Structure 1
């Protein structure tokens, strides 16, 4: 099933804003403190929503799986991303690294969940990689894998592995309750790191406004949109939306961060858009026979991107 255009566009724009604001935030607040505050506020707000709407709480083994997926997709992802931003990794470069998620996701769901990859999806994944290369340009060759880049790669690992783990083991969990649990268990994990990091808050007003945006828009609205994308198209197709985020981030960084977009960013935007169209479309493959139905866990998942 194709992901609706409003869902796809909204996911891309909200995710882009997260990188831009993250780059601004780490200049005025330590990254792990920011992540801890974001997860704590997100857990409180989502918890209130879950309570009011009567969300069914995960229990037993499902609760354990939800916690594991949450630490990966929340604590590991955002600790890596924000840590990398503070270490000097530009927002556009961070988006580029995270855009490799579709490739990792496609490989893992093919091997672990038995999903089939059609020709259009393969072409879309290739274009997604090319979009990353086009936007990144010569910077990776110049900078190499420094500490900031390694932290960003750690964030990519957490997002990709956590998403697949959740699709595999947490498909029966209520989205609202699962999101609450995941942020709640991740906040103290990152909070421990915050105790040992250097730096203090230099702009409480700016830090507070950014934190509110990251929680209300990125965590809550972004979660809803991305979950809808996963529900409509599956984890692999939904993850391909991030192929276009690097180019959009690079272009938006001009007015927001004062960074001029390169020709590579413009080329990456076109390649990323094509990757999204192909990667989120339904493959023109033969219909599976009744004895080989699509597994339930491949039709729906509860992945929380933050």
Structure 2
């Protein structure tokens, strides 16, 4: 099936502006405080949606697995994303690095889940590494592997490992209930970090508006739009939308945040787009792994 251009454009815009909102939030308040408030409010929102729609909640061992996936997918990802932004990594570069998660997920799935990986995905993995090196190379040359780079790469590991963990242990979970459980599980992790991090809220209104945007649009609208994109076009086509998010983020961040893309970032954007297109291709001769489509829907319950 075909993804309507309007739906694709709106989904990409919501994803891109979520990075912008995150950057504005951590510029106005400590990053882990922003993350804690965002998680807590989003958990209440998603739990309410799950209750209204009578979603089936995970129980027993499955509940524990969903909680672990939440610690990785939500907690580790956004500790890295917002911590890296606070340390000075531009929103466009952050979107590029995190946006390569479909490529990294394909590699992890091949190793951990023994999924078949085609030649195009192997090339995509190599190009993806080149994209990250190009985007972060200038910063590494100036400062070495600093906290900002380390945290951003930690975010990429979190989102990728969380998605693979979901595919392995969380089959058949309702995405609305799973999102609520994940957020509840991740909130204490970032809450503890918020208690010990330095800094205070410098712009209360800016921080509040950023968190509101992240809760309502990134968590609720972004997740719903992604599900609709997968329903209409399939998981592989939905994954290719990641290739456009970093570029849109960089364009929006330029006038709003004053983040002028470096030459390396531009090269990284181009390579990242190629990597995501290659990394999300499904070989024609290969049958999808059991539950692949279902779990692809659950890989992105919320956005940044």
Structure 2 length normalisation: TM-score? 0.86
Distance 2:38 2:199 in 1: 18
Q: What does residue 291 of structure 1 align with?
A: none
What's the CA shift for 1:113? 2.3
Change (3 A) 1:133 1:150: closer
Q: Deviations over 1:30-69 (max 9, x none)?
A: 1111101101110111111111111111111110101000
2:294 to 285, 288, 300: 300
Query: Which segments of 5 or more consecutive residues in structure 2 lack a partner in the other structure?
Result: none
Q: What does residue 119 of structure 1 align with?
A: 119
Q: What does residue 217 of structure 1 align with?
A: 217
Q: Deviations over 1:242-265 (max 9, x none)?
A: 444333332322111112234444
SS in 1 for 2:168: helix
What's the CA shift for 1:238? 5.5
Instruction: Describe how 1:141-152 pairs up with structure 2 within 5 A.
Output: 141-152=141-152
Q: Is the 8 A contact 1:243 1:276 kept in 2?
A: yes
Aligned length: 299
SS in 2 for 1:107: helix
What's the CA shift for 1:74? 1.0
SS in 2 for 1:26: helix
How much is the aligned-residue C-alpha RMSD, in angstroms? 2.7
Q: What does residue 44 of structure 2 align with?
A: 44
What's the CA shift for 1:126? 3.8
Q: What does residue 284 of structure 2 align with?
A: 284
Structure 1 length normalisation: TM-score? 0.85
Q: What does residue 19 of structure 1 align with?
A: 19
Change (3 A) 1:305 1:122: farther
Q: Is the 8 A contact 2:40 2:183 kept in 1?
A: yes
Q: Is the 8 A contact 1:102 1:125 kept in 2?
A: no
What's the CA shift for 1:18? 2.1
Q: What does residue 96 of structure 1 align with?
A: 96
Query: Which segments of 5 or more consecutive residues in structure 1 lack a partner in the other structure?
Result: 289-293
Instruction: Describe how 1:172-211 pairs up with structure 2 within 5 A.
Output: 172-211=172-211
What's the CA shift for 1:271? 3.7
Change (3 A) 1:64 1:230: farther
Q: What does residue 261 of structure 2 align with?
A: 261
Q: Deviations over 1:125-183 (max 9, x none)?
A: 44444444444452332222112222222222211111110111112111111111111
Q: Is the 8 A contact 1:233 1:280 kept in 2?
A: no
